[in-house]
Amino acid sequence: AQTVTQSQPEMSVQEAETVTLSCTYDTSENNYYLFWYKQPPSRQMILVIRQEAYKQQNATENRFSVNFQKAAKSFSLKISDSQLGDTAMYFCAFVYSGAGSYQLTFGKGTKLSVIP
């Protein structure tokens, strides 16, 4: 069974600063995908960034980047130049792409507050 662990229930960062959210996972699979989702107060789940496990290069999306360490099973999210709109719950998620099963496994989330 796959597990995803987010060890930081809450974090805060000053506007324009950089923050890193941590995520570790446990799996015996080799082919999988990792995601960071943002859930603002509206509760709509928004995809922030996606990483394929077979790719060594870390994914980046504008101010968002990840540090993917496959051997260590670590997948942290770095938010640069934090903005007030980044305030949200952030969920790390894992999906295994084998055997026709595409079930997402979520971490418990990190509540990020961006302080003006």
Residue 26 CB neighbours (<10 A): 12
Residue 50 in contact with other proteins, rule: CB under 8 A: yes
In the list 35, 36, 68, 75, the residue contacting other proteins (rule: CB under 8 A) is 35
Q: Is 44 in the site for other proteins (CB under 8 A)?
A: yes
Closer residue to other proteins, CB minimum distance, 107 or 112? 107
φ/ψ (deg, to 5) at 86: -80, -10
User: x-or-dash pattern for other proteins, window 84-113, by CB under 8 A?
Assistant: -------x-x-x-x----xxx-xxxx-x--
Kindly report the CA angle at 71 between 107 and 74, in degrees rounded to 5?
A: 25
